[in-house]
Amino acid sequence: MAFFIFRRVANFITTIFVVSIIVFAAMNVLPGDPALTILGLDATEDALESLREKLGLNEPLVKRYLFWVGNALRGNFGVSHSFSVPVSELIIERLPLTVSLAISGMICTIILAFFLGVVAAANHTRSGDWGVMIISQLGIAVPAFWLSILLVLLFAVKLRWLPPGGFPGWESPAEAIRSLIMPTLALTLVQSAVLARVTRSSMLEIMRQDYIRTARASGFNSRRILWLHTLPNALIPIVTIIGMQFAALVTGTIVIENVFYLPGLGKLIFQSISNRDLPTVQALVMLFAAIVIIANFIVDIAYSFIDPRLKERT
């Protein structure tokens, strides 16, 4: 077990390290002068040179990379050009909204997908199964941002039940939750389509096993067989997809926050791009990539608890 965890942790650290190089390289090595990007084409050579000096762009690349990583490890991502405050402050200020959205989206996705997947598997080749399959096929094809627009059209423009966008802040929790209903729904409906299909297919695979037939022959209640014997054994592929979905959900929040004008990290990243605020974009891209890698790492570790046989194989 210790060796298994050690290998996974080593893999995780290497991945984070290489990703940090890629992010740094993409922002600093690609053709283009960051100083020119920030100041624009009209900037004088003096202004450009002094900004290059201020940003440390005249230093060797390796030194700049080590400086960036060293500071990032201490929670210092530099100062935002457009907000003139430390990037870490901006992140801390906006993180709660993005995290709430991602977590509520994930919980709703799991509940809805398990329900749909189990119903479809229990009604295999009958109308319930077809219904779930058609809904999930549609869910996979519908872009989350279009679904969001449709939800706004229905619930905000037509019915006027929910606000079309914006966030009133956590000072008024009821209003805050109300403004997160549609974004959560948009994330959930799209993500649960994929998970429902995987749950169904994994459940069907397990339902063909001998021990399920034996349980049926022993006269166990079919609901008990479904939820207690089949679902737990069908969890491995489902957990893999949940890990990947969490990653998709986190990046999905970037899009959703922009559709609903929510002041989270996703909105911040786009503000930073239009303000040519490179330190903020760099920190946020690294943060989102790190979240994706951490989600995959947790899934890897979770495997060994769900199916101890996997530890021996790796």
Partner 1 sequence: MRLPLNFIFGCMLIFFVLTVAILSLFWTPHNYSELNISMKFAPPSWLHWLGTDQLGRDVVSQLMVAAQNSVQVALIAVFIGGAIGTILGLIASAIGGIVEDVIMRLADLGFAFPALLFAIMLAASLGPSLNNAIMAIAFINIPIFARVSRGSAKQIWQREYVAAAKAAGHTKFTISLDHVLPNIMAPIIVQATIEFAVAILAEAALSYLGLGAQPPQPSWGRMLAEAQTLMYLAPELAIYPGLCIIIAVIGFGLLGDGLRDITDPRLKGNK
**Tokens representing 248?**
């998709």
Question: 27 or 215: whose CB is closer to partner 1?
Answer: 27
Question: 112 or 248: whose CB is closer to partner 1?
Answer: 248
DSSP state of 86: B
Question: Which candidate, 254, 222, 261, places its Cα nearest to that of 124?
Answer: 222
Question: 69 or 142: whose CB is closer to partner 1?
Answer: 142
Instruction: Report, in Å, the least distance between residue 30 CB and partner 1.
Output: 5
**Tokens representing 162?**
């929910």
As a whole number of Å, the CA-based R_g of the chain is 24
Instruction: Report, in Å, the least distance between residue 153 CB and partner 1.
Output: 5
**Tokens representing 157?**
């423009």
Instruction: Report, in Å, the least distance between residue 274 CB and partner 1.
Output: 8
How many residues in the chain?
314
Instruction: Report, in Å, the least distance between residue 84 CB and partner 1.
Output: 19
Question: 15 or 304: whose CB is closer to partner 1?
Answer: 15
Instruction: Report, in Å, the least distance between residue 14 CB and partner 1.
Output: 8
Q: Do residues 183 and 148 make contact, with C-beta atoms less than 8 angstroms apart? A: yes
**Tokens representing 38?**
């920030």
The three-class DSSP label of residue 123 is: coil
Site for partner 1, rule CB under 8 A: 14-15, 18-19, 22-23, 26-28, 30-32, 34, 37, 137-138, 140-146, 149-150, 152-153, 157, 164, 197, 201, 204-205, 247-248, 251, 254-255, 258-259, 269-270, 272-273, 276, 278, 281-282, 285, 288-289, 292-293, 296
CA–CA distance, 256 with 180 (Å, rounded to integer): 10
Question: 14 or 222: whose CB is closer to partner 1?
Answer: 14
Question: 85 or 273: whose CB is closer to partner 1?
Answer: 273
Instruction: Report, in Å, the least distance between residue 18 CB and partner 1.
Output: 6
Question: 10 or 47: whose CB is closer to partner 1?
Answer: 10
Question: 164 or 220: whose CB is closer to partner 1?
Answer: 164
**79 backbone dihedrals φ, ψ, rounded to 5°:** -110, 135
Question: 87 or 218: whose CB is closer to partner 1?
Answer: 87
Decide: residue 230, CB within 10 A, 0-12 exposed, 13-18 middle, 19+ buried.
buried
Question: Which candidate, 277, 268, 217, places its Cα nearest to that of 93?
Answer: 268
Instruction: Report, in Å, the least distance between residue 218 CB and partner 1.
Output: 26
Q: How many CB atoms lie within 10 A of CB 116?
A: 24
CA–CA distance, 307 with 75 (Å, rounded to integer): 36
Decide: residue 308, CB within 10 A, 0-12 exposed, 13-18 middle, 19+ buried.
exposed
Instruction: Report, in Å, the least distance between residue 60 CB and partner 1.
Output: 19
Instruction: Report, in Å, the least distance between residue 257 CB and partner 1.
Output: 11
CA–CA distance, 169 with 158 (Å, rounded to integer): 25
Q: Do residues 21 and 62 make contact, with C-beta atoms less than 8 angstroms apart? A: no
